[in-house]
Structure 1
Amino acid sequence: FGIVLSSNDKREVIPQVSDYQNLEYNITSALYRLTKTEMAKVAFVRESQGGYGQQDPLNSLKKVLSQQYTVVNLDLSTIKEEDTNTFLKEYATIVLLDSGTNKYSPEQIQLLKKYYESGKNVIVFADGIKIDERTLTVTEADHNLNELTATYGAHIDYNAVLSTSAEYVNFGNATSQFLAPYPFWIRSNLFNKKSGLFANIQFVTFPWSSSLSLKKTNKIAITPLIVTSKKSWIQKDTFSLSPNTIPQPIQRDLKEFVLGAMLKNNKGGEMIVISSSRFPLEQYISRGGGNLDFILNAIDTFSSNGALSGIRSRIVSFYPLPDLSDSQKDIYKYMAILLFPLLWGIYGVIRLMKRK
């Protein structure tokens, strides 16, 4: 069956109700469109509009966003100086992506600074290093987005973060699968509890992420959003990305690292910095992960005052185990080994006492 919603002369149609998990979101989104006279614009910007090839790896994200926003791909090089004021007013949120192709020009960086300082919102996905996925070799990132983010207190570091809390990756081939945790693909559920961006999100995944160095800056409120577990470490200068050659960390090198942060200026403009360019891409989004929901919540909070935040992620299809210390694991292990025989022993003693 289908659903038709109407108000005055406007109609919204859900042709077939087949996605029951997201039915609440789809209906609420349709109602939102009925009540809006003009849809807010969300722009996606990357250094090269052809940087990802023919297939857009952001297709799922854009498809959901288009239910309540006007979604466009924006080329900053086409904006002339006389069009700056129009540009500052036109877009509710800009999403910046590092596609690893070339740098933003100084004029484009300055234009983005003006946009953010005017009280508008920006989301940045960028790496501290550039990885060739075929050879697993590392070079320095060439996107120069630190010229934007570091100005406001968040520097994307030249390193790669590893963690014992890792995503399982298939290292098999076309005929067989071999799943193993890969420390460079970090799984984290350590969110800022005061932020509403993580409503009903169980965990997020960071494929090949760098750390963020946060530095207090005048008139900027800096808030860490996502951190790793304390059993995390980094590689820098010398990198070994192959799963078979990753050196074991030294105990003193294990600590917590910031992977996502919020920067809020005194004009109300907010900037989210995520230190992984692959965070929003379809081929890296894991089953049960909340990457897509986090981005949708952030854009919704920025562009429509949170009208639909958290609705999409209320259905939880995956329940990850909590990150336990070695001592906690030992307690659970010995309880599982000893508790059942102990209960039977107590039961046997009680039976013997009753017979006497």
Structure 2
Amino acid sequence: MGHRKLASPRRGSAGLRPRKRSSELLPTPRTWPQINSQNPKLLGFVGYKVGMTHVFMIDDWPNSPTNGKEIYMPVTVLEVPPIIPLALRAYAVDGKGEPNVITEYWSPSSLQFLDITRRIHSLSFFLKNDENKKKFEEKFSSKLDLIKSNLDRIVYFRLLVATQPRKIPSLGKKVPDLVEIQIGGGEKKAQLDYALNVLGKEISIRDVFKEGQLIDVIGVTKGKGFAGVIKRYSVVELPRWHKHRKGSRKIGTRGPSLGTPSYTPQPGQLGFHRRTEYNKRIIKIGDDSKEINPAGGFVRYGIVRNTYILLEGSILGSKKRPIFLRDPIRPSYVFESAPKITYINILSQQG
């Protein structure tokens, strides 16, 4: 009589529960890194996934067996047109010990961009009257005074920025994505001056990141709909040559119905989850799209027309999906320069 196995490893990580659909298409970071720079800067950016290709580059990882040699590297292409800061939000600790917005300041220089989003489209019609515009500017000038008077209470500043999907015709949308991006580095007074200086002006990715550095990628994975336990959790299918009155692609008991909740695999939503990928290296930041565009454009995307970046390896999400790029919260290594690229593949991509 054979030995009966009474235990098996857990299928699927319990740290990724609940496996449900993401509440937003472009998630923002829950945690921001602390940087030691004396000059304030934004800690994030937003790009749109284009597709993948490959490059040949000189390996500059220290202690690598191929250090100094030419290696093959798959890369992901992201199109990153400039973003526009619209408003400044100041956060201070409330009575419960949690940071909350104490006020929001809109600069007169950012009012010209109100037409780019439908969320505040009615406000743009209101401000076409010169008298209404004057009242609007007076209202927010008092909010700026409130920020300056409470500078010692403020824990951090964030900018409400808008992307410019109009510059990417292949996306097929005009309404921008609005996200909050935290300001890091420097003192609070320097951060406030930096925010007031960039409101209403375009910020390029070169103002936030540099070639060769590591970043974190935050986004939503590909959605695959409702799936069973075999596909969702890699549960071993029961042998089909026995009689299975309840089916072979199912689990046995679901555990106790009372007491501690069970982590037994069950069918449900697969994909379209919020996820974070850490320490993805920026191989290249380029402005000449001819360097990467294949003949006829990328499959299911089209032609890149704006600034682009090449990220090492693959990233989550489907093509045309907005991706949030953040300064690394736990960098594994700090590179001093970008790698030397010897070849970029621009042949037509299949599939």
TM-score, scaled to structure 2 = 0.24
Q: Looking at both structures, which has the greater relative contact order when contacts are Cα pairs under 8 Å and sequence separation is at least 6? A: 2
Larger helix fraction of residues? 1
TM-score, scaled to structure 1 = 0.24
